[in-house]
Amino acid sequence: MREKIIEILNSIKKNVDFENAEAIIDDGLLESFDIIRLTTRLADEFDVEFTAAELVPENFNTVDAITEMIEELAE
């Protein structure tokens, strides 16, 4: 799952080291438009449903946080 998430992140924004990034949102690596693009792609890929409640920086700041959020949504 982790690899796929990194692949999607890189398709949205090239040349960013998402794997080692510790504050993807707080450092401005992704903007609000990118987050909508990302959630659309993640929802398709992992068959999960996002709500506005999930769209908080803590859920998107690291690849691990994104992975954890998708696992929780899939439950």
Partner 1 sequence: MSYISVGFAILTFICFLLFYFAPLKLKKYILLTASCVFYICSSKYLIILPVVNTLFIYFLSIKIDKVNEAFNAKKKELSKEERKEAKKQNSKVKKRICTVEIVLSFLLLAVFKYMGFFTGIINDISESLSLGSIPLLSLMVPLGISYYTLSIAGYAIDVYRGTLKAEKNYCKLLLFTVYFPHIVEGPIGNYKSFSSQLDKINKPDFETFMTGIQIILFGLMKKMIIADRAGIAANQFFDNYEQYGFTTSLAGMILYAVNIYFDFSGCIDIVRGVSCLFGIELPENFRQPFFSKSVQEFWRRWHITLGDWIKKYIFYSVSMSKINRKIISLCDKIKNEYFKTTVPMFYALAFVWLFNGIWHGTSWKYILYGVYYYIIICAGLIFEPLFEKICAKLKINREGKAFGIFRILRTSVLVVIGLTLFRADSTYDFIQIIKSVFVYLDPAGNISDYYNSINLSLLDFVIVVLFTGLMFFISYKKEKGTDFIGWFAEHKRARWILCTAEILVIIILGVYGSSFTRLPFVYAQF
3-state secondary structure at position 58: helix
CB of 63 to partner 1, least distance (A): 20
20 or 33: CB nearest partner 1: 33
Q: Which chain residues interact with partner 1 by CB under 8 A?
A: 11, 31-33, 36-37, 39-41, 50-53, 55-56, 75
H or E element in which residue 32 lies:
helix 32-46
55 or 65: CB nearest partner 1: 55
CB of 57 to partner 1, least distance (A): 10
CB of 2 to partner 1, least distance (A): 22
At residue 24's C-alpha, the angle toward residues 36 and 69, to 5°, is 65
Q: 63: buried, middle or exposed (CB in 10 Å: 19+, 13-18, 0-12)?
A: buried
